[in-house]
């Protein structure tokens, strides 16, 4: 029972990161039907921006909370701008071309970001200064650190903010309208280009936040880190029904839990096999994802 609780805690931590990243995949797919292969690398760039900030300000002896806030804001701002630039340069001109062109373009952006980071920061690991406390508390015999709690709460807050934004604001309504039918939305007077840009901004900002949190929590980052986690987050997006916002959130946590329980009850050796086995099963038996019935409200 204690082990079960521990697996649960571990899985929710991993899931927090996956859910944040999965949202970006699902939003962008919902609005322009593109699997944004560069999304995992946007997460990586966010992590490196946070690394640059934290390693610079750590000498200033600021309170930890302030360092975290500054690093996250910097990472989110940088990836937000990056998202808009990627969309404007690599995707916007190809929106009305055959699907394949934009997909290849996404792969190109992914490689450009990875290799750019490799040239800038080297192929080895970069290490965040370890500023988070390692202390924690016990629930029913399972250990959770305050850092884990922080990761979980912060990601939930960001997801809630995103959900409210999409559901309650006029811009969010425009995004949902665009996801349903781009041409009809344009006829209703929605600025399609601006809305697509905004979607990239939001998705990338969440990935950037996840990237900084990843660095703060796990310390070591490298140029290729976005690939593996991006693949798992994408699996979560598919599992939740790609294009479905709440689906991606729930499925992100679900993949985290699957990984954790499979590491615990099967073997860590098998975690990739289990996770991608789930992906294959979903694609075969329920291609619209586990929450696929809400497919009309894609964003």
Partner 1 sequence: MNHSPSKITAIAVLAGAALVASACSSSGSGGGGGGGDAIVIGVPVPTSGDYASAGTDILHGAQLAAKKINSSGGINGKKIQIVAQDDACSAQTAAQAAEKLISQNIVAAAGGYCSTASAPELETFHRQGIPYVMAASTNPELTDQGFPEAFRTIGRDDEQGPFVAKFITGYLKAKRVAVGNDNSTYSKGLADSTVAALQKDGAQVVFNSALTPGQSDYSSYLTKVGQSHPDVFYYTGYFSEMGLLLKQAKQQGLNFTMMGGDANNDPTLIKTAGSAADGVLIDTAPLAQFLSSAKDYVQAYQSAYHTAPGPYSSYEYDAVGVLAEAIKNAGSTEGSKIDAALHAIKTYHGITGDFHFDSKGDRQPVAYIIITVKNGQFVADKQLNPNTGQWESVG
Of 127 and 167, the one with the shorter C-beta distance to partner 1 is 127
Closest approach of partner 1 to the CB of residue 225, in Å: 8
Helical ranges in the chain per DSSP H: 2-32, 39-57, 64-86, 99-121, 146-168, 170-180, 182-187, 192-218, 225-239, 245-261, 271-285
Closest approach of partner 1 to the CB of residue 233, in Å: 13
Stretches 24-32, 57-65, 152-160, 255-263: which one binds partner 1 (CB under 8 A)?
255-263
Pick from 124, 140, 277, 287 the residue near partner 1 by CB under 8 A: 124
Residue of 36, 177, 33 lying closest to 108 (CA atoms):
36
Q: Is 41 in the site for partner 1 (CB under 8 A)?
A: no
Q: Is 6 in the site for partner 1 (CB under 8 A)?
A: yes
Separation of alpha carbons 24 and 39, rounded Å: 7
Return the C-alpha torsion angle 28, 202, 13, 67, nearest 10.
150
Of 244 and 262, the one with the shorter C-beta distance to partner 1 is 262
Residue of 93, 100, 85 lying closest to 200 (CA atoms):
85
Query: Are the C-beta atoms of residues 43 and 273 closer than 8 Å to each other?
Result: no
Q: Is 112 in the site for partner 1 (CB under 8 A)?
A: no
Of 66 and 228, the one with the shorter C-beta distance to partner 1 is 228
In the complex, the residues that contact partner 1 under the rule CB under 8 A are 3, 6-7, 9-11, 13-14, 124-125, 127, 130, 134, 136, 143, 145, 147-148, 214, 218-220, 225, 228-229, 259-261, 263-264, 267-269, 271-272
């Amino acid at each position: 029972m204690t082990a079960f609780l521990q697996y649960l805690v571990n899985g929710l931590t991993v899931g927090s990161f996956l859910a944040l990243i999965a949202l970006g995949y699902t939003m962008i797919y919902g609005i322009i039907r593109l699997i944004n292969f560069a999304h995992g690398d946007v997460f990586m760039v966010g992590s490196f921006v946070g690394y640059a900030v934290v390693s610079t300000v750590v000498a200033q002896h600021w309170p930890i909370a302030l360092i975290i806030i500054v690093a996250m804001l910097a990472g989110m701002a940088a990836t937000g701008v990056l998202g808009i630039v990627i969309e404007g340069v690599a995707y916007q001109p190809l929106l009305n071309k055959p699907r394949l062109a934009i997909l290849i373009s996404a792969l190109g952006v992914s490689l450009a970001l990875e290799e750019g980071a490799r040239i800038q920061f080297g192929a080895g690991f970069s290490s965040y200064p370890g500023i988070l406390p390692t202390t924690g508390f016990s629930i029913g015999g399972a250990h959770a650190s305050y850092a884990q709690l922080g990761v979980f709460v912060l990601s939930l807050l960001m997801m809630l903010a995103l959900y409210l934004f999409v559901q309650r604001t006029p811009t969010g309504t425009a995004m949902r309208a665009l996801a349903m039918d781009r041409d009809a939305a344009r006829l209703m007077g929605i600025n399609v280009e601006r809305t697509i840009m905004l979607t990239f901004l939001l998705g990338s900002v969440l990935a950037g936040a996840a990237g900084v949190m990843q660095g703060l929590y796990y310390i070591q980052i490298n140029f290729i880190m976005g690939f593996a986690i991006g693949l798992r987050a994408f699996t979560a997006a598919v599992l939740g029904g790609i294009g479905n916002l709440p689906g991606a959130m729930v499925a992100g946590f679900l993949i985290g839990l699957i990984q954790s329980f499979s590491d615990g009850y099967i073997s860590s050796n098998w975690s990739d096999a289990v996770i991608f086995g789930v992906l294959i099963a979903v694609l075969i038996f329920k291609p619209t994802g586990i929450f696929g019935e809400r497919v009309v409200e894609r964003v």
